[in-house]
Amino acid sequence: MKIFPASKIAEIDSYTIENEPIESIDLMERASSKLFKKILKKFPAPRNCKIFVGPGNNGGDGMAIARMLAEKNYAVEVFIIKVTNQLSNDAEVNLQRLKLIKSVDIYELASIDAMPWLFPEDIVIDAIFGSGLSRPIEGVVLEVIKAINASEASVVAVDIPSGLMGEDNSKNNYQGIVKADLTLSFQFPKLAFLFPENAEYVGEWEVLPIGLHPEIIKQEQTPYKMLNREFVKSLLMPRKKFDHKGTYGHGLLISGSYGKMGAAILASRACLRSGIGLLTSHIPRLGYEIMQTAVPEAMVSIDRSDIIFTEFPDLSQFKAVAIGPGIDKKQNSYCAMINLLKEIKTPMVIDADGINILGEHPELKADLPLGSVFTPHPKEFERLVGKSDDSFTRNNMQRKFAREYGVTLVLKGAYTAIACPEGSVYFNPTGNPGMATAGSGDVLTGIILSLLSQGYSSKVATIIGVYLHGLAGDLASEKVGYEALTASDIIDFLPKAWLKLKK
Ligand SMILES: NC(=O)C1=CN([C@@H]2O[C@H](COP(=O)(O)OP(=O)(O)OC[C@H]3O[C@@H](n4cnc5c(N)ncnc54)[C@H](O)[C@@H]3O)[C@@H](O)[C@H]2O)[C@H](O)CC1
Ligand SMILES: [K+]
């Protein structure tokens, strides 16, 4: 699913109005009635609704919803916040329609003194500003928003919490953003919903299709996309009857060190559960028996060092390489990494201390093989790419790094972001807080190595891998909950995740 910047949404709107064709007031009615139905479902028993509206079309939606709720016997009060003297055309039409409903009280809110009391059992509908917001909130709107946020009422935001910018909130005043419990967004999610610092403002969110024109949605370009099952499924290569293990490639996994052999085991097991033909695990000598016992399916290549990574086998036999899980970042490992980067010609996944070594020795980035994939968590990302205080800026840095070095750069978290060399970013909807646990990242590295070895491109292997990893975590959490979930559970649910993905 595409995620459009707020500026593009107005264009998509106009195209729909011109080409469906549909009158703009009717499009507003269609959108509002979708939202109204969702509210009815959420709050089936009539309650007091206090609806705060602004001067634009977001306010117009709010007034249309007010009318629909009143017709269903909800006690509705509408507060028009005095921002300007002028309402948008469609907001004005909806105000006139609303005035015909006798049960609805309409107030003008020109100062905070006229702010009503908000009670815990009230439903507050926030229709002050939507995608037309152009600057941080100030004046009476700021006071109103603070009062809404201080209340215990249930807050439903129309399209986007008022005060939140669709994308860039780096210069915003967070005091002036509505904290919604539920955000019902029209047609597309907004980029800002996917960033952790906005989570307590957006609350739960849902996208409501409002029938914007499919042609323009197809035509319009955007760098931001949200993954879904249909899309990920369409990327899978079919397996054929006469395939043999050579068909699915031979991968090399460099992992493990003294005290961290678990990472090597987890990554190896995840790799083998994701379709690879043959796996060689390169590990320090002390891990030999551990690996052969725990993962009998893996072949083992032994380092001359007992405890760390210092060398690697002949690379010519491998279709792809992964390095990082549990390797540590001792001087000798750094030297081996230099040699590896000089010799390697296949795509490569770089994780954990593999990333940290590159972070400490940025000159190595010049030798990265084409099609490299990085899988940092936020701290590793910072060491590799740099620091930033807000997610929008961080996302831009991520895209720039991916472009500059021709790599696929993942940033792990809720809505893991995958930045691709050509400039696009895919956000992943699968996964849950239970997956923030030791070894979860090692599992992801193993899965991506597996897919690269099978011949998927770096971008596609990463997309499938990230989605599948989250899906396995979701299936595992249905059985064991968040707290008890371990990385091994994610591996155990990979078979079910594969089946669900391909269904
Ligand atoms: N997605 C769709 O296709 C549809 C969306 N609808 C709704 O329309 C709004 C967007 O409406 P728009 O009129 O463009 O913008 P706003 O309602 O957000 O209001 C903008 C209004 O306010 C002024 N303004 C902007 N920022 C500030 C500020 N900080 N302080 C004061 N004033 C400000 C600006 O100049 C404008 O006058 C969308 O979110 C949906 O809710 C349609 O109803 C259906 C189709
Ligand atoms: K809003």
- Closest ligand 1 atom to residue 64 Cα is 43
Contacts of 484 (CB under 8 A, 6+ apart): 434
* Nearest residue by C-alpha to atom 36 in ligand 1: 56
pLDDT in tens, 229-265: 999 999 999 999 998 988 899 999 999 999 999 999 9
Tokens at residue 490, please? Answer: 């994610």
In Å, how far from its chain's centre is CA 235?
19
Helix 6-19, helix 24-42: angle, nearest 10: 120
pLDDT in tens, 75-125: 999 999 999 999 999 999 999 999 999 999 999 999 999 999 999 999 999
* Residue-wise DSSP of 85-145: S---HHHHHHHHHHHT-TT-EEEEE-SGGGPPP--TTPEEEEES--TT--S---HHHHHHH
Structural class in CATH, domain 2-221:
alpha beta
Q: Is the CB of 149 under 6 A from ligand 1?
A: no
Contact status, residue 4 vs residue 225, Cβ threshold 8 Å: no
Q: Is the CB of 137 under 6 A from ligand 1?
A: yes
Residue 259: Cβ within 10 Å count: 11
Contact status, residue 358 vs residue 350, Cβ threshold 8 Å: yes
* Residue-wise DSSP of 259-280: T-HHHHHHHHHHHHTTT-SEEE
Q: Is the pLDDT of residue 34 over 90?
A: yes
Between CA 31 and CA 186 the distance in angstroms is: 7
Between the alpha carbon of residue 73 and those of residues 21, 63, 235, 307, 397, the distances in Å are 33, 15, 49, 72, 51
Closest of 261, 253, 260, 328 to residue 297, by C-alpha? 253
Task: Looking at the CA of 155, name the nearest ligand.
Answer: 2
Q: Is the ipTM of this complex over 0.95?
A: yes
Between CA 97 and CA 346 the distance in angstroms is: 65
- Boundaries of every domain in the chain: 2-221, 229-502
The side-by-side arrangement of strands in the sheet containing 408-411 is 2-3, 224-226, 425-427, 417-419, 408-411, 373-374, 348-350, 320-323, 250-254, 278-283, 299-302
* Nearest residue by C-alpha to atom 22 in ligand 1: 56
Grade residue 149 by pLDDT with cuts at 50, 70 and 90: very high
The pLDDT assigned to 9 comes to: 93
The pLDDT assigned to 454 comes to: 97
Residues lying with their CB under 5 A of ligand 2, a single-atom ion: 126, 157-158, 162
Between CA 366 and CA 347 the distance in angstroms is: 15
Between CA 293 and CA 143 the distance in angstroms is: 65
90 among the known binding-site residues? no
Secondary structure (3-state) at 3: strand
Helix 494-502, helix 458-480: angle, nearest 10: 120
Secondary structure (3-state) at 2: strand
**End-to-end CA separation in angstroms for the chain:** 19
CATH of domain 229-502: 3.40.1190.20
Contact status, residue 79 vs residue 110, Cβ threshold 8 Å: no
Task: Looking at the CA of 54, name the nearest ligand.
Answer: 1
Question: pTM (2 decimals)?
Answer: 0.97
* Nearest residue by C-alpha to atom 32 in ligand 1: 83
pLDDT in tens, 199-225: 999 999 999 999 999 999 999 999 999
Between CA 207 and CA 191 the distance in angstroms is: 12
Which residues pair with residue 350 across a beta bridge? 323, 374
Q: Is the CB of 64 under 6 A from ligand 1?
A: no
Grade residue 370 by pLDDT with cuts at 50, 70 and 90: confident
* Nearest residue by C-alpha to atom 45 in ligand 1: 28
C-alpha of residue 418 to centroid of ligand 2, in Å = 29
